[in-house]
Amino acid sequence: RVGPTLPVLSDIATGAVQSPTPTVERFVNHFLRELNFGQGVLLSRSTINDQYIALAKTVRKYMMADWLDTGAKRREGGTKTVGYLSAEYLLGRQLSNALLATDLQDIAADALRECGIDIADLRAQEIEPGLGNGGLGRLAACFIDSLATMDVPCIGYGIRYEYGIFRQTFEDNRQVEVPDSWLSLGSPWEFPHPERQVRVDFGGRTEQYTDDEGRERSRWIPGWNVLGIPYHQMVPGFRNHTVNTLRLWSAKATQAFDLQIFNSGDYAEAVRAQTFAENISKVLYPEDSTPQGKELRLQQQYFFVACSLHDFIENTLPQDFDLHHLPERIVFQLNDTHPVIAIPELMRILVDIKGFDWDDAWDITRQCFAYTCHTLLPEALEVWSVELMGKLLPRHLEIIYRINKNFLEEVAEAFAGDEMRIRRMSIISEHPERSVRMAYLATIGSSKVNGVAELHSQLLRDKVLPDFSGYWPDKFTNVTNGVTPRRFVFLANRKLSDLVTDAIGDGWVTDLEQFKKLEPFADDPNFRQQFAQVKQANKERLYNLLKARDGLDLPRDAMLDVMVKRLHEYKRQSLKLLHIVSMYDGIISGRVSTESVVPRTFVFGAKAAPGYHIAKETIFLINSVAQTINADERVKNVMSVAFPANYNVTLAEKLIPAADLSEQISLAGKEASGTGNMKFALNGALTIGTDDGANVEIRELVGDDNFFLFGMDEPQVEELRAKGYDPESYYQSNENLRATIDLLASGHFTGGDRRLAAQFVDNLRTQDPFMALADYQSYLDAQARVDEAYRDSDAWTRMAILNVARTGFFSSDRSMRDYRERIWNV
């Protein structure tokens, strides 16, 4: 039950919540109160962690009134809400963002100084919640930031993993994964609500029966269940007094759990059962773009989706709301296929629980969902075996069968029994085993389907779902991704923000297209000089950090060339490595003199999925090459390679503002969008990139002169593939490439042991599934153009400024506007 039944004077305590104008003095007071009466320590005895927690709890107090107000406003307004359903949120640190949103940065810093504390030490204390793998999870975090800033009603729904993405360490140059216990020092940003628990059923069987009106129905007799406990987090808009909610679910055993299923009268067994239930939200699956068909993963997906739908229908909508009007109040955005089981779940709620007719329920359901696809890789499209689905969610499987049957009848009618087409479009695939194609279910059960960049949406229509886009052309649309300028420009690059604000005012923070006003400044020598100084200062900051964090000593004045993203073959870190080794080989073989080269520092950041063998071999080889090159006197001062471990949002915020060159070198047609590419351009790095994902749109906007394009485009890739790709022929015919690969294979980088590079080299020479060798020469030619351009540092800076000025389009605020207009109607 929520709230008292008797009318009360006011919902909100006066004074306490409507926070008065913040001052340093008041802030000190709040902070000390949190420290003394929250943490239970004296300032003189407090640890950094005590201070961090007290600071976080102080800041969140300043957001509390706005949070309560926003919630009340939403409930009263009767407006449509976006339910963002995502299995991942890669939030990054919360403290700095909260201080920025509330405009408390200076007050907090001053207040802590008065307490003898450097706020930077407290910022550094926060372990970022890494509840996502990479781009998809970070995109969700950017989107909820933008929705709050635009005051759009949104509830983010997800999973409160006890362990997020693993912490990466290197041992003997190899990746070692360490559990990420982000909750271990306390979690001041979340509000648990155990009293709002939701029960989620699993397993068992279904039963057919005839209802009171004589209709044949099916009911689910579940086998076991768990509880979902919601943890709420504030999602503050940028200085607009809106605070939306992120609701993450944590699994807990029901009391009856052990009795029902594991009734053995055995205490140890009962505790084991407890663990079994709580495993559901224990750990984030670390596979990015290559999901494993693991039972626990399907449990996670259904778990958070069932909790979220229940939460919205039973706890968020007014009591007795007529669910026929559900589409007026909610649109659930499906972030990839991970939450797609929500479609049969809503059908189950409407038909089995609320007693709706199938056709009415289906009509409502389709209006309530929209689906975003984030990939083109066939291995990334989720598929669940019918056997597993039937065991875990027997009623949902039945519902999926019926959806499929109705749909295929429709297709048969439209296409005069075209058997092949019917088989192609079936949600159920027969090979290699009977399974449920979640992307098809999503497409059939949604009002809209979108890709995440123009090229990707086109390929999605033409290559991945051609039958569906032909059948429902209007269902398909594009929304090009974006990134939040609050975190990735304002917070991450304070110096650039100040420079830009001096030039064009601060409206850009919530209206990034205003960056266009910077264009004339590209021709202002004084502005160029200041811009270059900002870049240099960001580099110094990065190098100081890498020295302290990883013991790396990097030269101060080389070009900074950065490739940071998940380690995946299609992204082609291998191609970057070939470039580095070629440059190195050129120098040590005497073909190129050190005086003639443009000094470069190469930085990698990348985690590999723990079971992705060739990706881990690539990490090993990059580290080995780095070790060798950094120790080689012959290339001293002209080449260095750094691979700081554990690339995450926090490190990205330091790396991106410092970069000169952004590496976006995926094989054309494979990277759906990319979002790192946008962050770099917005921070004044130039891109060397293929015609892939959002690179295409970046290049269109910044212009060919301000972008280093190379490689095959998507049709050329297809043509080569059709012709038969033979990587060995490139090895044989390109002398530099051959020398580079031979040097890698020689053991030069692996302590003389040829075996250690053999898998990487053999894979390239015999398989090379992502055609690195085919694009090698074009890539090296483009790198030569990069060197040429960099020699003229003033001209380079001009190009960098134009990149900033012309990429305001890539704000996630714009993405959210597109979703509102093309998909949500909110």
Interface stretch with ligand GPK, choices 120-128, 508-516, 619-627, 672-680 (CB under 6 A): 672-680
- Site membership for ligand GPK, residue 190 (CB under 6 A): no
Residue (of 535, 619, 601) closest to 562 by Cα position: 601
- In which region does residue 736 sit, left (phi positive, over 0), alpha (psi from -120 to 50) or beta (all else)? alpha
Interface stretch with ligand GPK, choices 60-68, 156-164, 667-675, 732-740 (CB under 6 A): 667-675
Q: Which 680-699 residues touch ligand GPK, going by CB under 6 A?
A: 693
End-to-end CA distance of the chain: 30
Q: Which amino acid is at 538?
A: N
Taking CA 739 as the corner, what is the angle to CA 734 and CA 744, rounded to the nearest 5 degrees?
Answer: 125
Task: Give dist(CA 456, CA 673) in Å, integer.
Answer: 7
> Using CB under 6 A, which of 441, 452, 668, 771 touches ligand GPK?
452
> Using CB under 6 A, which of 675, 740, 807, 812 touches ligand GPK?
675
Catalytic residue among 487, 571, 600, 748: 571
Provide the minimum distance between the beta carbon of 134 and ligand GPK in the complex, in angstroms, as a whole number.
4
Work out whether strand 198-202 and strand 224-236 pair parallel, antiparallel, or are unpaired.
antiparallel
Burial letters 365-385, b for 16+ CB under 10 A, else e = bbbbbbbbbbbbbeebbbbbb
Interface stretch with ligand GPK, choices 142-150, 200-208, 665-673, 742-750 (CB under 6 A): 665-673
- Site membership for ligand GPK, residue 671 (CB under 6 A): yes
Catalytic residue among 329, 461, 486, 679: 679
> Using CB under 6 A, which of 59, 380, 465, 655 touches ligand GPK?
380
Task: Give dist(CA 206, CA 94) in Å, integer.
Answer: 45
Contact between 571 and 665 under an 8 Å Cβ cutoff? The reply is yes
Radius of gyration of the chain (CA): 28
**Which is nearer to ligand GPK, 578 or 609 (by Cβ)?**
609
Active-site residue flag, 487: no
Number of chain positions touching ligand GPK (CB under 6 A): 19
Provide the minimum distance between the beta carbon of 136 and ligand GPK in the complex, in angstroms, as a whole number.
3
Provide the minimum distance between the beta carbon of 336 and ligand GPK in the complex, in angstroms, as a whole number.
6
> Using CB under 6 A, which of 128, 145, 258, 288 touches ligand GPK?
288
Q: Which 262-281 residues touch ligand GPK, going by CB under 6 A?
A: none
Interface stretch with ligand GPK, choices 135-143, 146-154, 319-327, 641-649 (CB under 6 A): 135-143
- Site membership for ligand GPK, residue 136 (CB under 6 A): yes
| Residue 150 backbone dihedrals phi, psi, to 5 degrees | -95, 5
- Site membership for ligand GPK, residue 374 (CB under 6 A): yes
Site string for ligand GPK, 464-483 (x = CB under 6 A): -----------------x--
**Residue 429: how many other CB atoms lie within 10 Å:** 16
- Site membership for ligand GPK, residue 662 (CB under 6 A): no
Residue 350: both structure tokens together: 């409407």
**Which is nearer to ligand GPK, 478 or 736 (by Cβ)?**
478
- Site membership for ligand GPK, residue 577 (CB under 6 A): no
Task: Give dist(CA 256, CA 242) in Å, integer.
Answer: 40
Residue (of 134, 160, 165) closest to 233 by Cα position: 160
Provide the minimum distance between the beta carbon of 339 and ligand GPK in the complex, in angstroms, as a whole number.
13
Give the sign of the dihedral formed by CA 499, CA 503, CA 506, CA 509: negative
Q: What is the DSSP letter of 326?
A: G
Catalytic residue among 456, 539, 565, 576: 565
- Site membership for ligand GPK, residue 286 (CB under 6 A): no
- Site membership for ligand GPK, residue 335 (CB under 6 A): no
Provide the minimum distance between the beta carbon of 764 and ligand GPK in the complex, in angstroms, as a whole number.
22
> Using CB under 6 A, which of 129, 134, 153, 394 touches ligand GPK?
134
Site string for ligand GPK, 75-114 (x = CB under 6 A): ----------------------------------------
**Which is nearer to ligand GPK, 46 or 480 (by Cβ)?**
480
**Which is nearer to ligand GPK, 440 or 543 (by Cβ)?**
440
Residue (of 271, 719, 85) closest to 262 by Cα position: 271
**Which is nearer to ligand GPK, 397 or 649 (by Cβ)?**
649
CA dihedral 336, 338, 339, 344 (to 10 degrees): 110
- Site membership for ligand GPK, residue 188 (CB under 6 A): no
Active-site residue flag, 571: yes
Provide the minimum distance between the beta carbon of 570 and ligand GPK in the complex, in angstroms, as a whole number.
9
- Site membership for ligand GPK, residue 567 (CB under 6 A): no
Catalytic residue among 242, 480, 675, 797: 675
Residue (of 724, 731, 725, 685) closest to 707 by Cα position: 685
**Which is nearer to ligand GPK, 125 or 289 (by Cβ)?**
289
Residue (of 680, 671, 706) closest to 560 by Cα position: 680
**Which is nearer to ligand GPK, 107 or 136 (by Cβ)?**
136
Active-site residue flag, 679: yes
Task: Give dist(CA 280, CA 811) in Å, integer.
Answer: 35
Longest distance between any two alpha carbons in the chain, whole Å: 89
- Site membership for ligand GPK, residue 672 (CB under 6 A): yes
Contact between 683 and 705 under an 8 Å Cβ cutoff? The reply is no
Query: To which residue do tokens 């995450």 refer?
Result: 648
**Which is nearer to ligand GPK, 46 or 675 (by Cβ)?**
675
Run of H or E including 371: strand 369-372
Provide the minimum distance between the beta carbon of 679 and ligand GPK in the complex, in angstroms, as a whole number.
11
**Which is nearer to ligand GPK, 135 or 286 (by Cβ)?**
135
**Which is nearer to ligand GPK, 242 or 675 (by Cβ)?**
675
Catalytic residue among 338, 566, 568, 814: 566
- Helix ranges, 247-350 (H): 256-261, 267-278, 295-310, 342-348
- Site membership for ligand GPK, residue 673 (CB under 6 A): yes
Provide the minimum distance between the beta carbon of 577 and ligand GPK in the complex, in angstroms, as a whole number.
20
Catalytic residue among 60, 138, 366, 374: 374
Provide the minimum distance between the beta carbon of 610 and ligand GPK in the complex, in angstroms, as a whole number.
16
Provide the minimum distance between the beta carbon of 566 and ligand GPK in the complex, in angstroms, as a whole number.
7
- Site membership for ligand GPK, residue 139 (CB under 6 A): yes
CA dihedral 329, 335, 341, 345 (to 10 degrees): -10
- Site membership for ligand GPK, residue 670 (CB under 6 A): no
Active-site residue flag, 73: no
Task: Give dist(CA 340, CA 334) in Å, integer.
Answer: 7
Active-site residue flag, 354: no
Q: Distances in Å between the alpha carbon of 762 and those of 142, 435, 521, 558, 771?
A: 40, 34, 50, 33, 14
Provide the minimum distance between the beta carbon of 694 and ligand GPK in the complex, in angstroms, as a whole number.
7
- Helix ranges, 563-612 (H): 573-588
Interface stretch with ligand GPK, choices 127-135, 315-323, 679-687, 808-816 (CB under 6 A): 127-135
> Using CB under 6 A, which of 175, 250, 375, 811 touches ligand GPK?
375
Query: To which residue do tokens 């993450």 refer?
Result: 248
Provide the minimum distance between the beta carbon of 677 and ligand GPK in the complex, in angstroms, as a whole number.
8
Cβ-based neighbours of 779, under 8 Å, separated by 6 or more: 575, 578, 579, 665, 688, 710, 711
Burial letters 552-585, b for 16+ CB under 10 A, else e = bebbeebbbbbbbbbbbbbbbbbbbbbbbbbbbb
**Helix 812-819 and helix 135-149: axis angle, to 10°?**
80
Active-site residue flag, 431: no
Q: Which residues bind ligand GPK (CB under 6 A)?
A: 133-136, 139, 288-289, 336, 374-375, 380, 452, 481, 671-675, 693
Active site members: 374, 565-566, 571, 675, 679
